[in-house]
Amino acid sequence: MKDFINEAGWDRIVRVVLGAVLLYLGFGGVVTGGWGTAFKIIGFIPLLTGIFGFCPLYAIFKIRTNKEAGVNA
C-alpha cells in the first residue's frame, strides 16, 4: 500500500486545505457564476488526491514527494 502513495505528508495537507478552501468558496457562495462553478468542480481534485495520497499526474511523470516510500519503485 505504501508504494501506491506518491505524496509526502506536507503535500497531502496542502492539497486537502486547498481543496476545502476551493469548495467552500464555490459552495459557500463567496464566488459565484462561472468561477464559482469552476471552484466547485476543481476543488474536488486536490481534496481527493490529498486524502488518498496518490496523484495520477505524479505517477505519469514519475514524480514523488514521498521519498521514503517506494524507493525501489
**Residue 28 has what pLDDT?**
96
What are the residue ranges of helices labelled H in 1-73?
9-27, 33-42, 44-52, 56-60
Domain limits for position 16? 9-60
Angle between helices 9-27 and 33-42 (to 10 degrees): 150
pTM for this model (two decimals): 0.85
pLDDT in tens, 38-57: 999 999 999 999 999 999 99
Domain membership of residue 51 (yes or no) is yes
Domain membership of residue 70 (yes or no) is no
Q: How many domains does the structure of the chain reveal?
A: 1
Domain membership of residue 43 (yes or no) is yes
